[in-house]
């Protein structure tokens, strides 16, 4: 019952996404924000929502070691438990951890063939078979399109849905749909793009692309104190 209650409280439903999973297998989603605004925390919350549904999540970090990523999950879950007055955090964590696997790469050695090799090792040895991938810390430079295209093919072949963090910059030019112009040439690979935009003392969660972008539902907020997603009515 506890897991079901938390799933129903997933505030992303308020953005207009009606499907059980926001992304479909083979789909790409991106969370855009400047450094330190809350991209990793946001994706950990998406990951936890899938873990609560017994979906297998592979969290790939190109910035942080395994112990730091694990700490992210514990801290976010602890804050959620405090927010909803949940007393069984450790028990809940024990039930979802078998569905999560953390993998790290150094940025300079990351490649799609190496990722595919590691995925094959995990699945063929029956260690872990992911359904969702989180890729945190991948540099989105001018040469990224080829790697993303390869990742798209991999995701489609393995029926994975993939979420990325994308670091933006304060003064960069903005193009169609509010997406930075440097990312326009890769936007066709993404079904959903969500932006975390600081406005005064608030961090607004805005859907730039996808079903939620055309929704009349109110903008969500990311609480700067806890980095948890909340509805405007919870302000």
Q: Which helix (H) or strand (E) holds 46?
A: helix 39-52
Could you report the per-residue pLDDT of 188-230, keeping only the tens digit for each?
999 999 999 998 888 999 889 887 666 565 578 888 888 888 7
- Report residue 161's pLDDT band, with 50, 70 and 90 as the boundaries: very high
Four-CA torsion 132, 230, 217, 233, nearest 10 degrees: 160
Residue 105, pLDDT score: 96
CATH number at residue 130: 3.40.50.300
Could you report the per-residue pLDDT of 121-147, keeping only the tens digit for each?
999 999 999 999 999 999 998 889 999
Could you report the per-residue pLDDT of 67-123, keeping only the tens digit for each?
999 999 999 988 888 887 877 788 888 899 999 999 999 999 999 999 999 999 999
DSSP-assigned letter for residue 23: S
Residue 91, pLDDT score: 84
Residue 64, pLDDT score: 94
Could you report the per-residue pLDDT of 1-54, keeping only the tens digit for each?
467 767 656 656 656 565 556 788 899 999 999 999 999 999 999 899 889 889
What SS3 state is found at 200?
coil
Cross-strand bridge partners of residue 134:
59, 163
How many CB atoms are closer than 10 A to CB 34? 15
How many residues in total does the chain contain?
A: 235
Residue 5, pLDDT score: 66
The two counts, helices (H) then strands (E), for the chain are: 6, 9
Residue 15, pLDDT score: 63
Give residue 17's Cα distance to chain centre: 15
pLDDT over threshold 90, residue 152: yes
- Report residue 178's pLDDT band, with 50, 70 and 90 as the boundaries: confident
Residue 85, pLDDT score: 82
Compare 233 and 164 and report the one with higher pLDDT. 164
Rounded to an integer, the average pLDDT of 149-162 is 96
Residue 93 has phi, psi (to 5 degrees) of -60, -40
| CB contact at 8 A, 102 and 72 | no
Residue 27, pLDDT score: 95
Q: Total structural domains in the chain?
A: 1
Q: Please, is 126 exposed, middle or buried when counting C-beta atoms within 10 Å of its C-beta (0-12, 13-18, 19+)?
A: exposed
DSSP-assigned letter for residue 199: E
pLDDT over threshold 90, residue 156: yes
Q: What is the domain extent for residue 123?
A: 2-234
Residue 67, pLDDT score: 97
- Report residue 177's pLDDT band, with 50, 70 and 90 as the boundaries: confident
Compare 63 and 83 and report the one with higher pLDDT. 63
Residue 10, pLDDT score: 65
Give residue 141's Cα distance to chain centre: 20
| Greatest pairwise CA separation for the chain in angstroms | 50
Beta pairing class for 132-136 and 192-199:
unpaired
């Amino acid at each position: 019952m506890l897991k079901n209650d938390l799933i129903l409280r997933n505030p992303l439903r308020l953005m207009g996404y009606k499907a059980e999973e926001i992304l479909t297998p083979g789909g790409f989603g991106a969370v855009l924000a400047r450094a330190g605004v809350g991209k990793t925390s946001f994706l950990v919350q998406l990951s936890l929502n899938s873990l609560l549904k017994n979906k297998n999540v592979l969290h790939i970090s190109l910035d942080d070691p395994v112990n730091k990523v694990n700490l992210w999950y514990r801290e976010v879950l602890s804050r959620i438990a405090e927010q909803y007055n949940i007393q069984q955090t450790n028990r809940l964590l024990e039930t979802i951890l078998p569905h999560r696997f953390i993998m790290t790469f150094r940025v300079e050695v990351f490649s799609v063939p190496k990722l595919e090799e590691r995925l094959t090792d995990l699945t063929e040895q029956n260690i872990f078979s992911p359904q969702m991938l989180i890729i945190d810390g991948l540099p989105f430079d001018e040469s990224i399109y080829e790697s993303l295209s390869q990742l798209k093919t991999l995701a489609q072949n393995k029926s994975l849905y993939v979420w990325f963090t994308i670091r933006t910059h304060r003064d960069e030019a903005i193009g169609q749909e509010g997406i930075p112009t440097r990312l326009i040439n890769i936007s066709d690979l993404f079904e959903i793009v969500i932006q975390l935009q600081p406005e005064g003392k608030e961090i607004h969660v805005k859907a730039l692309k996808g079903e939620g972008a055309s929704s009349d539902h109110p903008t969500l907020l990311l609480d700067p104190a806890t980095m948890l997603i909340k509805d405007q009515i919870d302000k």
